[in-house]
Structure 1
Amino acid sequence: MHPPTQSEASESYLLIYTNPSTGATALKLPGELIDVLRYVAEHNRWRKLECINLIASENAMSPLAEAAYLTDMMHRYAEGKPRKRYYQGTKYVDEIEILVSKLMGELLEVQFVEPRPISGTIANATAFRVLAAPGEKAVIAPVQAGAHVSHTKFGTLGALGIEHIELPYDQENMNVDVDKAIKVIEEVRPRFVVLGGSVYLFPHPVKELAEAAHSVDAKLVYDAAHVLGLIVGKRWRNPLKHGADIITSSTHKTFPGPQGGLIATNSEDLYKKVSKAVFPLFVSNHHLHRLPATAVTAIEMKYFGEAYADQIIRNAKRLAEKLHEYGFKVLGEHLGFTQSHQVVVDIKNFGGGAKVAKLLEEANIIVNKNLLPYDPPDAIKDPSGIRIGVQEMTRYGMKESEMDVIAEFFKKVLVDGKKPEEVRKEVIEFRKNYTEVKYTFDADLNLFEALFRIPMIIDLRF
């Protein structure tokens, strides 16, 4: 077979695009292109309008941030530092990158921000590479306490040849065991200690372990990816104020920006080393189009971040309490269930994490299966738990009463045994009231010139 010629394609394939304002328009396009547009349209409709999205590592940008994201900058290169590039044509990119660093520095109350890492994992790789050489040692929060794979020998740390040593875990408090951890740090004398994680209900003991790390001339790295929005919203302690030497983070979880990363520190020496390592070791071009969207999100968080972070935590606590009330085994009951955006549930009695996550997806409730502190590592494909995050639905305006409704949906599917496809109808109807992003500025993009607008969800009919 050969690809259709332009004349064959125009005769053979037909797409109807329904524009709410102008009516239906017939477009003659190749079938493969129709498939691409259909997949995108169906995904957008499903996830943005019809699902309760509870993945703890995701969020939704505002229309303003999305408009700033889809720009000509996505086609451009800007290797090097602002105003010291290896390419011409970057004068506006430079100003945006400087502004992102300034805004994030203000939000984090930190002197130096490096925004070029394109993900949290790349931020971690850069920090780890600067702080230790192959064969040297790093002490990390235990996997049971939520350590991200990039912190471990199975991920970035191992790829860099740095030895992975875990801190002891306190099962009762669902956290690092402080006293035992201090002893490990003093005995091992690592080059650095890593705190923060991806299953993260309660703050790690930064102050105590930073003091121990500094006593053996080690640095403390804090992976703030999941809680960055809570930190800048002043509802989670700022690790830099408690002794952390460096923050690594992504920019798209509780901080509701585009996918990307950053590194922040008050040490000029560390900042210079990080900046020399991120390029050319880990990125060449750093996906420039995310920078304006990150700046827009930072400004939104400057004005609305405290209210947003506060409601996230209120919602997480309420959802945990309601699920517990319905008989679910929600972890951390004796500790108040959670202090973050996350809720973790032992779902083994309902068939395990893999089965439950799939059942909920069939009802348009999106969560992820997750290892629990007492699961063996080989249970990763079918762990005992699920991880829930409320930050995205909070951004769409949901509050405590809506968490009650969501908990009831869980009950209907898992306790009452109602067919997921029946609950899905209820979920879709429920979501109709929550399609507008909150905690942003009231700006009608239709008033902007076309250059500043982007198409959102297109309605395709076949």
Structure 2
Amino acid sequence: MTIPKELEKILEITKEQNTWRRKETLNLIASENVMSPVAESVYMSDYMSRYAEGKPYKRFYQGTKYVDEIETLTMDLMNQVTSSKFCDMRPISGTVANAAVFRVLANPGDKALIAPVQAGAHVSHTRFGTLGALGIEHIELPFDKENINVDVDKSIKMIEEVKPKFVVMGGSLYLFPHPAKELSPHIHAVGAKLVYDAAHVYGLIAGKAWSNPLDDGADFLNVSTHKTFPGPQGGAIFSNNEDYYKPVSRTIFPWFVSNHHLHRLPATAVTALEMREFGEEYASQIVRNAKKLAESLASLGFKVVGEHLGYTKSHQVAVDVRPQGGGAKAAKTLEEANIIVNKNLLPYDGPEAVSNPSGLRIGVQEMTRFGMKEGEMEEIASLFKKVLIDGKEPSQIKREVMEMRKGYLSVKYTFQDGEWEQKFSSKVIPMII
């Protein structure tokens, strides 16, 4: 049999992707991460071929007895690391998690208050995304430019005047926690709910580097499972209030999800165990690395956002690169040097700047998981300087990046050691025999 040329091409492209992003680049996209070899080994399983519409033990398909078992175990483990009572793993993304909650909390024409775009609101919070699709009116909370955050005093007044159905905090460009604790009493006083979108910072919450919004008054905690939480791509919804949780859980299927990509479940369960064991160490190192990278970039001449606030308390660093030609040019030039970041609007950018915003958004969580610490953050900052300030050829710096990356190829904060290999590696059944 002749092997199709297209098959050869598919395998070649996939191998090139794996080699480039796993072995040759500094991956600093704030919304990405890598799974451990343990999690990846169970991700490639028969679950990826199966359907399980409905809830555990209440399915619309046969053949789901092991799906029920793994989904229940995953929810239990996720509740453990989140310190929550109720969890639904069926949203296949953070955006789907938002959609299910928004749909239950408001009807078309109702009002929702969201963190302003300048404070990092995700597109799903806006009229251009999920809120708009559901016909819910989006009104932005006042923004405190000095503190790069929601303005608490002005927001209290707006909440009392508007009386929204719900308020959304959390976001995408996200340097500092949003004031859930300060605003939640006022939100509840007008009969509204607080939805906290922790997609980006869920790993920091699970690792206790950030306070838990559920403890600060949030009614729902919506997350992604693949950013600072280093699992497979997917979403989840948490709550401590059964009366609020039940109607949302009934809405996910069939409104927003049919099958919920079952191979995510064992990989997410493994990641929850890793976070239970190593999460505090991992999350605290992420925060230290982000702060060190910000300080190092600033010391080398970059305009790092939030200097008077200590730059960042999250996994992210925001840099104004207008002196270096703007976000689009800077991100492209860095990619030529195998440094992967994304261009990003900064608080003072208007929406018209979306194609060439002022800034870069940098995330340190993936490189932290490969074992990098404060010293490596200083090295990364120097590479940024060589490319964007000194004007050295990206191809020259690319060689330095590839050499640096050789020392950071193994995932840390996991069970992958000699003892694990001896006890469990033989129990993982490979899909390709």
Query: Structure 1 length normalisation: TM-score?
Result: 0.91
Contact 1:227 1:255 in 2 (8 A): yes
> Counterparts of 1:445 and 1:285 in 2: how far apart (Å)?
35
* Residues 1:145 and 2:122 are matched in the alignment: no
Mapped pair 1:452 → 2:429: yes
In 2, are the aligned partners of 1:445 and 1:453 still within 8 Å (CA)? no
Superposed CA deviations along residues 114-133 of structure 1, whole A, max 9, x for unmatched, are 11000000000001001000
Counterpart code for 1:444: E
1:103 matches 2:102: no
What SS does structure 2 have at the residue aligned with 1:241? coil
Q: Is the 8 A contact 1:316 1:340 kept in 2?
A: yes
Distance in structure 2 (CA, Å) of the matches to 1:454 and 1:77: 18
Match of 2:257 among 264, 278, 283: 283
What's the CA shift for 1:449? 4.0
Structure 2: stretches of 5+ with no match in the other structure: none
Deviations 1:317-349 (A, max 9, x none): 000000000000000000000000000000011
Code of the aligned partner of 2:187: A
Deviation at 1:454, TM superposition (A): 6.4
| Aligned-partner Cα distance in 1 for 2:168–2:429 | 41
Aligned partner of 2:397 in structure 1 is 423
CA spacing shift, 1:454–1:418, aligned 2, 3 Å: farther
Q: Does residue 1:51 correspond to 2:51, yes or no?
A: no
CA RMSD, Structure 1 to Structure 2 (Å): 1.2
1:386 to 331, 347, 360: 360
Alignment check: 8 A CA contact 2:221 2:238 kept:
yes
Q: State the AA in 1 paired with 2:190.
A: V
Q: Helix, strand or coil: the match of 2:395?
A: helix
SS at match of 2:174: coil
Task: Report the CA distance between 1:270 and its aligned residue.
Answer: 1.5
Call closer, same or farther: CA 1:203–1:351 in 2, change over 3 Å.
same
The answer on 1:223 being equivalent to 2:200 is no
Distance 1:445 1:203 in 2: 42
For 1:453 and 1:424, the matched residues in 2 are separated by 35
Normalising to structure 2: TM-score of the pair? 0.98
Deviation at 1:209, TM superposition (A): 1.3
**Aligned residue among 279, 297, 301 for 1:323:** 297
Matched, 1:62 2:39: no
1:83–1:94 contact (8 Å) kept in structure 2: yes
Equivalent residues, number: 429
Return the alpha-carbon distance in structure 1 between the equivalents of residues 285 and 37 of structure 2: 21
Q: Matches of 1:190 and 1:279 in 2, distance apart?
A: 26
Could you tell me which residue of structure 1 aligns to residue 374 of structure 2?
400
Task: Provide the residue aligned with 1:296 in structure 2.
Answer: 270
Residue 444 of structure 1: CA displacement?
A: 3.1
The residue aligned with 2:407 is 433
Query: Residue 448 of structure 1: CA displacement?
Result: 3.2
Matches within 5 A, 1:197-236: 197-236=171-210
CA distance in 2, matches of 1:84, 1:454: 28
Give, in whole Å, the separation in 2 of the partners of 1:355 and 1:282: 38
Q: 2:28 & 2:219 partners in 1: Cα distance? A: 32
Counting aligned pairs with the same residue, the percent is: 67
Matches of 1:378 and 1:167, distance apart in 2: 20
What SS does the corresponding residue of 1:448 show, helix, strand or coil? Answer: helix
Within the alignment, does 1:312 sit opposite 2:289 as a pair?
no
Compute the displacement of 1:447 (Å): 7.0
Tell me, what secondary structure is at the counterpart of 1:386? strand
1:13-162 paired onto structure 2 within 5 Å: 29-162=3-136
